[in-house]
């Protein structure tokens, strides 16, 4: 009997490239961006080396770079100067996030007018950035997140973001029924073409720590009554099924790296595109290890994102999106 030789398909870089089962492309990547109100220069995020809170001017530059790199999209988060109990800055047409969406819309449209592809403009549809208590919803008189009162606020956020020019609204608060309520509100307001990217399986994770700095979070306590428990797989499948039934156009798993089994399960059952968010803590760990000389930074970044794609993500949100696009361009794989 002839001995099987799988190694024949690994003999040269050209052979390995030919038979690669999973590939990275800039169009599959989405760059998260933070825009902060009331600053005149970008503010570095200390726990996320290389990332900043943008001014409106530097936000435009970042979106322009994303268009030039061929990225699939940008996901915008706002950091307001003032917060209140119900997050009214979130649906204020002149609120920082909605101004940021208008800027991104204009830059993308200019790219298209110049013969480019532009980017898909996405907006985080949640209250945590805008509330003085830091939770993703409205609190009741006992200090608990009121699911149904929060849905009303999400509908207002989504419509405001659509009016500002968002292609995609992305409810990330894990409120029951959020997709259906947002879809109804968008359709009633004349935005039937606006896409909903549902954070369907979003876990209460220790990996969100640096993000709290990025949005100057006011959170006290935790979000474990609405974000999912890390021990649960089947619940993630149920959450995805519910969002699909409610009409989600895309579904997401967050975080990505420690939940690849959940990502694979959602990808297997979903008939719409599946996204995964490589979150701030995942970014920070690789950056810290690389800064100490413990790992090869570029190789680790590419391997981590390739693993997310291999598990079933059609779209990856990653803070390295621009760098990865540059590396792919060097290889002539864009």
The residues, ordered by sequence, that sit 6+ positions from 140 with a Cβ below 8 Å of its Cβ are 146, 149
pLDDT(35) > 60: yes
Q: What is the pLDDT of residues 162-195, one digit of tens each?
A: 999 999 999 999 999 999 999 999 999 999 999 9
Cα separation of 24 and 38, whole Å?
A: 37
Within 19-122, where are the H helices? 56-69, 96-113
Cα separation of 126 and 155, whole Å?
A: 10
Give the chain's count of helices (H) and strands (E). 11, 10
pLDDT (0 to 100) of residue 333: 54
pLDDT(251) > 60: yes
Cα separation of 90 and 37, whole Å?
A: 12
The tokens for 19 are: 């038979």
Active site (catalytic) residues = 202, 254
pLDDT(113) > 90: yes
State what percent of residues in the chain have pLDDT above 90: 92
More confident residue, 318 or 143: 318
- Going by C-alpha positions, the residue among 214, 201, 203 that lies closest to residue 284 is 214
Q: What is the pLDDT of residues 83-109, one digit of tens each?
A: 999 999 999 999 999 999 999 999 999
The tokens for 152 are: 């009303």
Query: For 209-234, what is the mean pLDDT?
Result: 87
The tokens for 273 are: 């595109």
pLDDT (0 to 100) of residue 222: 84
Reported for 185-188, long-range contacts at CB under 8 A and 24+ positions apart, including other chains, are 185/155, 185/156, 185/158, 185/159, 186/158, 186/159, 186/162
The tokens for 309 are: 């794609």
Domain 24-330, CATH homologous superfamily name and number: Aldolase class I (3.20.20.70)
Query: For 71-78, what is the mean pLDDT?
Result: 98
């Amino acid at each position: 009997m002839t001995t099987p030789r799988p190694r024949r398909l690994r003999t040269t870089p050209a052979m390995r490239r030919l038979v690669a089962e999973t590939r990275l492309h800039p169009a599959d990547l989405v760059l998260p961006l933070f825009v902060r109100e009331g600053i005149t220069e970008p503010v570095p995020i200390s726990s996320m080396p290389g990332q900043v809170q943008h001014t409106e001017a530097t936000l435009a530059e970042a979106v322009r770079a994303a268009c030039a790199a061929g990225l699939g999209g940008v996901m915008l988060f706002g950091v307001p100067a003032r917060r209140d109990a119900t997050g009214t800055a979130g649906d204020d047409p002149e609120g920082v996030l909605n101004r940021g969406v208008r800027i991104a819309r204009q830059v993308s449209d200019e790219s298209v007018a110049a013969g480019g592809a532009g980017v898909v403009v996405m907006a985080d549809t949640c209250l945590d950035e805008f509330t003085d208590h830091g939770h993703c919803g409205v609190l009741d008189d006992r200090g608990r997140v009121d699911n149904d009162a929060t849905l009303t606020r999400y509908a207002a956020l989504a419509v405001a973001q659509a009016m500002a020019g968002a292609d995609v609204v992305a409810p990330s608060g894990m409120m029951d029924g959020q997709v259906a309520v947002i879809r109804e509100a968008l359709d009633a307001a004349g935005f039937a073409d606006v896409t909903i990217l549902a954070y369907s399986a979003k876990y209460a994770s220790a990996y969100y720590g640096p993000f709290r700095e990025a949005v100057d979070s006011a959170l006290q306590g935790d979000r474990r009554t609405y974000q999912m428990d890390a021990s649960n797989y089947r619940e993630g499948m149920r959450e995805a099924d519910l969002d699909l039934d409610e009409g989600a156009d895309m579904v997401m798993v967050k975080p990505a790296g420690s939940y690849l089994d959940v990502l694979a399960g959602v990808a297997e059952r979903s008939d719409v595109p599946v996204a995964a968010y490589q979150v701030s803590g995942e970014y920070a760990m690789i950056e810290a290890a690389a800064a100490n000389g413990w790992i090869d930074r570029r190789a680790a970044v590419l391997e981590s994102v390739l693993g997310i794609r291999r598990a079933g993500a059609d779209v990856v949100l990653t803070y390295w999106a621009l760098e990865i696009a540059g590396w792919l361009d060097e290889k002539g794989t864009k």
